[in-house]
Structure 1
């Protein structure tokens, strides 16, 4: 099984936006959906965990459902910095991956 980790926990501070940059709409679709659609179409990716900014998981799940993303199995909270977000994902997956699984 191949699991992809998608880091979507940024706040977009440099952009000066009121919402996290991954939720900014481009052509009537949040930016994060373009990324998730790519993973959803990739034939070698079996499942996806999205690391999301704390407090935005419901919004993320709403968009995942709205745009028919099938391979996202989990949305988890990120950390205060990207390294902590990566660690959160790896620790979360530690009991979900076995044998020769690839992350």
Structure 2
């Protein structure tokens, strides 16, 4: 089984936004969804695991359902931020 592991645990503090950068909408879609769609449509990827910023797991799950990301099998809780400030 080929599993894509996506690290989406950063807080995006330098962007000075209210939400983490991976959840910012670009052309009506969160940035992270563009990445997930690529792996969703890749024939050699069987499953996707995302390390998600703490507290945003349910948001990611809802977006995956909304955008039909069926290969997303695991959402792992990351830290409160991706790196030390």
TM-score, normalising length from structure 1?
0.76
Instruction: State the secondary structure of the residue aligned to 2:55.
Output: coil
RMSD across aligned C-alpha pairs, in angstroms?
A: 1.5
Extract unaligned runs of 5+ from structure 2. Answer: none
What residue is the counterpart of 2:59 in the other structure?
A: 59
Higher strand share: 2
1:35 & 1:10 partners in 2: Cα distance?
15
Say whether 1:46 aligns with 2:41: no
TM-score, normalising length from structure 2?
0.91
Alpha-carbon shift at residue 78 of structure 1 (Å): 1.0
Q: Deviations over 1:20-73 (max 9, x none)?
A: 000000011000000000000011110010100010000000000000001100
2:81 & 2:59 partners in 1: Cα distance?
21
Q: Provide the aligned length of Structure 1 versus Structure 2.
A: 83
Alpha-carbon shift at residue 82 of structure 1 (Å): 5.1
Higher helix share: 1
Bigger Rg, which one:
1
